[in-house]
């Protein structure tokens, strides 16, 4: 392989010895390439920096100057304040860091400092920095009209001024090497409207205007999205090639009759998604499709129609649910719909009796049973099918890629896979996370639903909320009261919830039947409690865990969520989806106090019932890192430059390019794709190995 300067260890950069090289690791710089891509995190120029002479009390400002004097000043209350006097051409100001005397050792006289914070009056003007940066030691320039000051992500071990020094000495060289990573031809760049990589990086490290960094960022964002999509496109083609799928043939022996017996018409969205699924199933390429639908959008019927197509064509179909309870619920629903057609539905879960299990296994192996619902028990050893043609996975977020792949192992033809997700995420995010899957959107709810009314209440209104819950229970309904539990091991939260439960049982609802559900209960105990709630033997279910996704208790009409500010919006939306499943008007009551800083966020929920909109708001508020975090694959990189909400256009273009590439050169064997191949491996080594691609 060609020798690349960018691959050399950072130690070979000018001004970096073995010690400093070690320190650089703390800011993520191990190689010359890492340094090149270590771009500033903020930019200031004369338009954002206020001359010290014009700083006004009461404003929040950024200023820049040199430290003229400094010292630690004790106050009467025993607080030690580090102070520095900062000077530029226009004047001087005191900068104060209460309670941070150790800064004495970090900041020296002569340092050039960039500080941001509120200006107040305290023995004269004073600024108390929220953030500050030592831009340089001993007399660097102060800003003039054309200068832009960059602030790099720094660390204790590698302060700002050190990084600036390193870039001062090495940036020209590094930018010169950027061409080693350039994988777009001049024609490609022109077609995509992208600058050369070297320009993009120059704009980010040494912008001439404040608009430059954004131009550079878009190129780096494109690159990230492109490689992610190439990875996924290759996985798609590789999977398709490795194993042919099944071309199901439609005879209408079950599908048509089901249409006839359904008590409702399919929604437009259901019909569209089914067409997409049928097209996949009828082709002999393997289906890998993700159906995203809001709570209550009718995914189960879609699953059933898909399963019936498989059965008509002579295959067996399996529906896999994340919990026993859900599996049982699905089995009941499916049985009600297919028994009139003369079809049987087997149920396979861990807790079935040995005899039941043997019977189901025998029926599946012999092919007498064509439809089966179950938990993970379905894909365990000892389960064999006569001819498995379709696997539907409900609630995909509990089901890993590996398990999905395991399904195909040992079979001559890979069964089609359909994944149902009840957690809508914005399309761009779905494409980034699940680019190897095809996407279908169930973006419409069946008609005639009474929407759930959502209300925000302060904690001092709790008594009236409880009175409301009591009235609903009095009229025969059931209710949920949910407490946050940040992690399953959070003892304090758990105790709080348990105490609340005891208080609710003895003081507030002594005349009602209450149940408590939390994550430290065993699966059996949880199931037992859910079952008694389902049977109506519990009036009010107090829960700390997210109540089983997808569980349908039609009689529950109230969802009260305590400390709503501690939940994510999508999570709240999911919880809200647990009510409004029956005929009764339902209510979701979010309890949070204004001081909790969540009012704005919670209003999104009050004002929209659309899960996709909620997800978008959630993504905007929480940031994509949170979403990606949950899906991390080993040491694979996060998206650093791409912003999935802002860059949806880039993502679409990148996806096109990537799929085109995977279709024309699936091995990336052509010489002109050598650079792409190399970078792909640099970025996604682990995942490529996991899928056996590349």
Residues that bind Mg ion (CB under 5 A): 299, 550
Tokens for 513?
């039947």
What is the number of the residue whose Cβ is closest to Mg ion?
550
SS3 38: coil
Q: Is 661 in the site for ligand ADP (CB under 6 A)?
A: no
Positions in 544-603 near ligand ADP (CB under 6 A):
550
Residue 270: name its binding partner from Mg ion, ligand ADP, none (Cβ under 5 to 8 Å by kind): ligand ADP
SS3 readout for 356-422: HHHHHHHHHHHCCCCEEEECHHHHCCCCCCCCEEEEEEECHHHCCHHHHHHCCCCCCCCCEEEEEEC
Name the one range near ligand ADP by CB under 6 A: 289-297, 382-390, 405-413, 563-571: 289-297
Cα→Cα distances 671→190, 230, 614, 675, 676, Å: 21, 17, 46, 8, 10
Name the one range near ligand ADP by CB under 6 A: 297-305, 369-377, 432-440, 458-466: 297-305
Q: How far is the CB of 686 from ligand ADP (least distance, A)?
A: 34
Q: Is 373 in the site for ligand ADP (CB under 6 A)?
A: no
CA dist 264 and 392 (Å) reads 22
Contact 164, 136 (CB under 8 A): yes
Task: Please enumerate in sequence order all residues whose Cβ is within 8 A of that of 210, keeping only pairs 6 or more positions apart, or say none.
Answer: 43, 45, 47, 48, 148
Residue 298: name its binding partner from ligand ADP, Mg ion, none (Cβ under 5 to 8 Å by kind): ligand ADP
* φ, ψ (nearest 5 deg) of residue 258: -65, -40
Q: How far is the CB of 182 from ligand ADP (least distance, A)?
A: 46
Q: Is 264 in the site for ligand ADP (CB under 6 A)?
A: yes
Cα→Cα distances 629→177, 219, 572, 632, 689, Å: 32, 24, 19, 5, 20
Q: Which of 40, 245, 298, 313 binds ligand ADP (CB under 6 A)?
A: 298
Q: How far is the CB of 489 from Mg ion (least distance, A)?
A: 29
Contact 274, 306 (CB under 8 A): yes
Residue 38: name its binding partner from Mg ion, ligand ADP, none (Cβ under 5 to 8 Å by kind): none
Q: How far is the CB of 356 from Mg ion (least distance, A)?
A: 24
Residue 213: name its binding partner from Mg ion, ligand ADP, none (Cβ under 5 to 8 Å by kind): none
SS3 546: coil
Closer residue to ligand ADP (CB): 272 or 622: 272
Q: How far is the CB of 393 from Mg ion (least distance, A)?
A: 12
Nearest of 162, 155, 117, 157 to residue 136 by alpha carbon: 162
Q: How far is the CB of 562 from ligand ADP (least distance, A)?
A: 24
Q: Is 295 in the site for ligand ADP (CB under 6 A)?
A: yes
CA dist 646 and 426 (Å) reads 12
Beta-strand (E) ranges in 592-692?
A: none
Residue 178: name its binding partner from ligand ADP, Mg ion, none (Cβ under 5 to 8 Å by kind): none
Q: How far is the CB of 574 from ligand ADP (least distance, A)?
A: 10
Closer residue to Mg ion (CB): 117 or 550: 550
User: DSSP letter at 547?
Assistant: P
Closer residue to Mg ion (CB): 266 or 365: 266
Q: How far is the CB of 329 from ligand ADP (least distance, A)?
A: 9
Residue 433: name its binding partner from Mg ion, ligand ADP, none (Cβ under 5 to 8 Å by kind): none
Closer residue to ligand ADP (CB): 31 or 571: 571
* φ, ψ (nearest 5 deg) of residue 553: -120, 95
Closer residue to Mg ion (CB): 219 or 299: 299
Q: Is 293 in the site for ligand ADP (CB under 6 A)?
A: yes
Q: Is 313 in the site for ligand ADP (CB under 6 A)?
A: no
CA dist 512 and 190 (Å) reads 70
CA dist 615 and 620 (Å) reads 9
Positions in 439-478 near ligand ADP (CB under 6 A):
446
Name the one range near ligand ADP by CB under 6 A: 177-185, 234-242, 266-274, 594-602: 266-274
Name the one range near ligand ADP by CB under 6 A: 131-139, 184-192, 263-271, 468-476: 263-271
Closer residue to ligand ADP (CB): 497 or 614: 614
Contact 322, 394 (CB under 8 A): yes
Residue 245: name its binding partner from Mg ion, ligand ADP, none (Cβ under 5 to 8 Å by kind): none
* φ, ψ (nearest 5 deg) of residue 326: -65, -40
Name the one range near ligand ADP by CB under 6 A: 211-219, 258-266, 274-282, 583-591: 258-266
Q: Which of 296, 415, 424, 515 binds ligand ADP (CB under 6 A)?
A: 296
CA dist 308 and 306 (Å) reads 5
User: DSSP letter at 671?
Assistant: G
Nearest 10 degrees: Cα torsion 408, 410, 413, 415 = -30
Q: Which of 270, 316, 375, 440 binds ligand ADP (CB under 6 A)?
A: 270
Q: Is 229 in the site for ligand ADP (CB under 6 A)?
A: no
Positions in 404-433 near ligand ADP (CB under 6 A):
422
Burial 473-497 (b: 16+ CB within 10 A, else e): beeebbbbbbbbbeeeeeeebbebb
Q: How far is the CB of 532 from ligand ADP (least distance, A)?
A: 21
Closer residue to ligand ADP (CB): 239 or 297: 297
Applying CB under 6 A, what is the total number of residues that bind ligand ADP?
16
Contact 439, 447 (CB under 8 A): no
* φ, ψ (nearest 5 deg) of residue 31: -130, 170
Residue 117: name its binding partner from Mg ion, ligand ADP, none (Cβ under 5 to 8 Å by kind): none
Residue 264: name its binding partner from Mg ion, ligand ADP, none (Cβ under 5 to 8 Å by kind): ligand ADP
Contact 543, 518 (CB under 8 A): yes
Q: Is 299 in the site for ligand ADP (CB under 6 A)?
A: yes
Q: Which of 86, 233, 301, 418 binds ligand ADP (CB under 6 A)?
A: 301
Cα 249 to chain centroid distance, Å, stands at 37
Q: Is 255 in the site for ligand ADP (CB under 6 A)?
A: no
Residue 381 burial (10 A CB sphere; 0-12, 13-18, 19+): exposed
Name the one range near ligand ADP by CB under 6 A: 33-41, 133-141, 296-304, 361-369: 296-304
Give the residues lining the site for ligand ADP (CB under 6 A).
264-267, 270, 293, 295-301, 422, 446, 550
């Amino acid at each position: 392989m060609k020798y690349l300067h960018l691959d050399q260890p950072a130690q070979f950069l000018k001004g970096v010895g073995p010690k400093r090289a070690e320190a650089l690791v703390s800011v993520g710089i191990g190689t010359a390439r890492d340094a090149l891509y270590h771009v500033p995190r903020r930019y200031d120029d004369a338009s954002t920096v206020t001359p010290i002479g014009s700083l006004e009390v009461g404003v929040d400002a950024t200023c820049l100057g040199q430290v003229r004097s400094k010292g630690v000043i004790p106050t009467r209350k025993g607080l030690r304040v580090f102070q520095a006097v900062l000077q530029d051409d226009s004047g001087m100001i005191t900068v104060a860091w209460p309670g941070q005397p150790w800064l004495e050792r970090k900041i020296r006289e002569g340092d050039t400092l960039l500080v941001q914070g509120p200006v107040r009056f305290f023995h004269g003007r004073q600024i108390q920095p929220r953030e500050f940066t030592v831009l340089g030691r001993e007399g660097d320039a102060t800003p003039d009209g054309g200068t832009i000051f960059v602030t790099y992500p720094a660390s204790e071990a590698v302060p700002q001024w050190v990084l600036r020094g390193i870039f001062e000495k090495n940036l020209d060289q590094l930018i010169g090497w950027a061409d080693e990573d350039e994988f777009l031809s001049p024609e490609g760049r022109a077609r995509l409207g992208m600058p050369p990589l070297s320009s993009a990086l120059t704009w980010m490290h040494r912008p001439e205007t404040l608009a430059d960094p954004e131009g550079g960022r878009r190129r780096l964002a494109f690159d990230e999205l492109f490689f992610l999509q190439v990875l996924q496109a290759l996985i798609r083609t590789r999977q398709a090639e490795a194993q042919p799928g099944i071309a199901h043939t439609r005879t209408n022996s079950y599908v048509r009759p089901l249409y006839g017996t359904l008590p409702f018409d399919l929604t437009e969205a259901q019909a569209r998604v089914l067409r997409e699924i049928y097209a996949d199933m009828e082709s002999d390429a393997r289906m890998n499709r993700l159906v995203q639908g809001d709570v209550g959008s009718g995914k189960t019927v879609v699953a059933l129609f898909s399963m019936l197509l498989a059965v008509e064509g002579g295959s067996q179909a399996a529906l896999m649910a994340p919990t026993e309870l859900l599996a049982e619920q699905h089995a009941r629903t499916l049985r009600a719909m297919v028994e009139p057609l003369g079809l049987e539905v087997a149920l396979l879960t861990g807790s079935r009796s040995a005899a039941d299990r043997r019977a189901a296994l025998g029926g599946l192996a012999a092919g007498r049973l064509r439809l089966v619902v179950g938990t993970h028990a379905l894909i365990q050893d000892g389960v064999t099918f006569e001819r498995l043609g379709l696997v539907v996975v409900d609630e995909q977020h509990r089901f890993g890629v590996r398990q999905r792949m395991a399904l195909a192992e040992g079979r001559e033809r890979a069964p089609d896979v359909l994944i149902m997700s009840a957690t809508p995420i914005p399309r761009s995010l779905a494409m980034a996370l699940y680019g190897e899957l095809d996407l279908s959107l169930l973006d419409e709810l069946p008609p005639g639903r009474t929407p759930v009314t959502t209300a925000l209440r302060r904690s001092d209104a709790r008594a009236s909320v409880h009175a409301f819950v009591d009235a609903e229970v009095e009229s025969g309904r059931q209710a949920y009261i949910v407490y946050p539990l940040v992690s399953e091991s959070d003892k304090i939260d758990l105790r709080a919830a348990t105490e609340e439960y005891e208080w609710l049982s003895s003081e507030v609802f002594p005349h009602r039947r209450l149940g408590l559900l939390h994550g430290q209960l065993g699966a059996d105990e949880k199931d037992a409690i859910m079952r008694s709630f389902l049977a109506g033997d519990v009036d009010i279910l107090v829960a700390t865990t997210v109540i089983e996704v997808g569980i349908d208790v039609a009689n529950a009409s109230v969802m009260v969520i305590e400390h709503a500010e501690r939940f994510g919006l999508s999570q709240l939306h999911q919880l809200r989806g647990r009510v409004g499943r029956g005929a009764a008007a339902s209510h979701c009551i979010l309890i949070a106090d204004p001081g909790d800083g969540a009012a704005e966020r919670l209003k999104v929920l009050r004002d929209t019932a659309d899960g996709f909109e909620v997800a978008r708001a959630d993504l905007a508020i929480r940031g994509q890192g949170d979403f990606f975090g949950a899906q991390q694959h080993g040491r694979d990189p996060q998206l650093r430059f791409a912003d999935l909400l802002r860059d949806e256009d880039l993502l679409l273009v990148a996806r096109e390019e990537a799929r085109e590439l995977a279709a024309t050169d699936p091995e990336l064997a052509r010489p002109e794709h050598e650079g792409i191949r190399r970078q792909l491996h640099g970025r996604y080594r682990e995942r490529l190995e996991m899928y056996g691609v590349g």
